[in-house]
Amino acid sequence: MKALIILFVSAITAFGYGYWDTFGVGGRVPSLSPVSAAMCGATVPESSSAFSLFTNPSALAGSEKLTFSLSGWHIGWREEITYHYTCTEPYRFNLGAMSPRGAFAITMPVGGGFTAGAGIATVSQYQMKATAQVYHEAGYLHGELWKTLISDATGNLNEALVSFAGTIGPVDIGISPGIRYGSGGSTTYSNRVNGRDSTFIETWEHSAFALRAGASMNLGYTVLYSTHTSGDSRFFSFTNIGASASFPFMKGGYFGAELGVVDGNNLNVTAFTRLPGVIEGSNMYLGLNGYRPDHALKTGIGLSIGGDFSFGNNRISAAYLFHSRYRNGVAVPIPYVNHVYDAGDVVVLGIETVF
């Protein structure tokens, strides 16, 4: 059983919510900022939010005001495992939800065009109870149920960061170093059709260096930018390059695109826009994302929508984000699996105050 779980860990890819994710990276929080979540997690610079120290720290360069940002979210997830048609149960569905979690950040100018900040956030959650079935060959292309695996996982992975941003020539640069830490565990029940059942309990504690960095350059109507988030054994790295464009007729709105890689080789593409809202002081955000993991059967799709409203020195924001992953059965170490589909729904709320 222990060897089987080690194989599970090696099969995990980011953006997932399902049985195999309980043993490694858990369910990654797609975005810690409501505005970023409303654009499918795009890391376009956003100077009015302290959450930029998580998404793109270069946006904080030259900030002239003290800013507090607070967000919270709730994640629902689902997974569909499709087995070979000869298996006893060709379909297996897993459904679940995470406990609400959130993020907090504060930034302030420190003089000379430089900005400092600090923040803490939950970046991955492990609250998943899911089931997988293991079949063995009982005849030509015929699978017979051998055992049912039930895993009940708990835990969280968090980040605590400090941030520093400034301008070097025409380029804004920001870095947010800190620590990624957490604890959790899983209890896996192996219920055999014939033979002795077994239970495997795993607990873990994690502590690793974390770094989020960004650079951006304003070219008038266009902003070019790049971001990087470091990875470790329980969190995959993310590297993005992107551009946004704004024109006078958009009245403060913009549109853009972002190209990224997850864990060094999995393609992630995002298109996004901000449009002025009907109500004075409001904006509407839209995002479209395509994600292609290892052994992809189809490209996973992300869709998002959100908005914000500013009044006085305050801003409230909200977003809904859906993203999915669709892989061939060879992505998981269980025979007779044809494909695995999993997806997450995220609702994010935030409030920010500028002094």
Per-residue model confidence (pLDDT) at position 15: 60
Q: Are 289 and 313 in contact (CB under 8 A)?
A: no
Per-residue model confidence (pLDDT) at position 3: 41
> CA 160 to CA 285: how far, in whole Å?
28
Q: Does residue 58 surpass a pLDDT of 60?
A: yes
Residue 43 in any domain: the answer is yes
Q: Does residue 7 surpass a pLDDT of 60?
A: no
Give the pLDDT mean for 301-307.
96
> CA 181 to CA 48: how far, in whole Å?
28
* Angle ∠(23,228,32) on CA atoms, nearest 5: 65
Q: Does residue 8 surpass a pLDDT of 60?
A: no
Q: What is the pTM of this model?
A: 0.90
- Give residue-wise pLDDT tens across range 153-165: 999 999 999 999 9
For the ranges 5-14, 140-149, 170-179, 191-200, the one whose mean pLDDT is highest: 170-179
pLDDT band at 74 (very low <50, low <70, confident <90, very high): very high
- Give residue-wise pLDDT tens across range 124-139: 999 999 999 999 887 6
pLDDT band at 4 (very low <50, low <70, confident <90, very high): very low
Per-residue model confidence (pLDDT) at position 29: 93
Q: Where are the alpha helices (DSSP H) in the chain?
A: 2-10, 34-37, 52-55
Residues 6+ apart with CB under 8 A from 317: 34, 35, 38, 306, 307, 308, 309, 349, 350, 351, 352
pLDDT band at 331 (very low <50, low <70, confident <90, very high): confident
Structural domain count of the chain = 1
> CA 109 to CA 63: how far, in whole Å?
6
Per-residue model confidence (pLDDT) at position 111: 87
Residue position matching structure tokens 């909200």:
318
Residue 199 in any domain: the answer is yes
Per-residue model confidence (pLDDT) at position 338: 92
- Average pLDDT of the chain, as a whole number: 91
Tell me the residue type at 300. G
Q: Does residue 6 surpass a pLDDT of 60?
A: no
Residue 352 in any domain: the answer is no
User: Rounded to the nearest 5°, which phi and psi values hold at 53?
Assistant: -65, -20
Residue 78 in any domain: the answer is yes
- Give residue-wise pLDDT tens across range 245-260: 998 888 889 999 999 9
Instruction: For residue 112, count CB atoms less than 10 angstroms from its CB and return exposed for 0-12, middle for 13-18, buried for 19 or more.
Output: exposed
Give the pLDDT mean for 189-203.
94
Q: What is the CATH number of the domain that holds 114?
A: 2.40.160.60
Q: Does residue 263 surpass a pLDDT of 70?
A: yes
Could you list the residue range(s) of the whole structural domain that residue 118 is in?
2-347
Q: Does residue 292 surpass a pLDDT of 50?
A: yes
- Give residue-wise pLDDT tens across range 172-193: 999 999 999 999 999 999 999 9
Residue 354 in any domain: the answer is no
Residue 353 in any domain: the answer is no
- Give residue-wise pLDDT tens across range 22-50: 888 899 998 999 999 999 999 999 988 99
Per-residue model confidence (pLDDT) at position 264: 82
The DSSP bridge partners found for residue 107 are 67, 117
Residues 6+ apart with CB under 8 A from 62: 47, 113, 115, 166, 167, 172
Tokens representing 354 are 């500028």
Q: Does residue 265 surpass a pLDDT of 60?
A: yes
**Among 2-16, 188-202, 228-242, which is the least confidently predicted range?**
2-16
Per-residue model confidence (pLDDT) at position 88: 81
> CA 150 to CA 187: how far, in whole Å?
8
Give the pLDDT mean for 79-106.
92
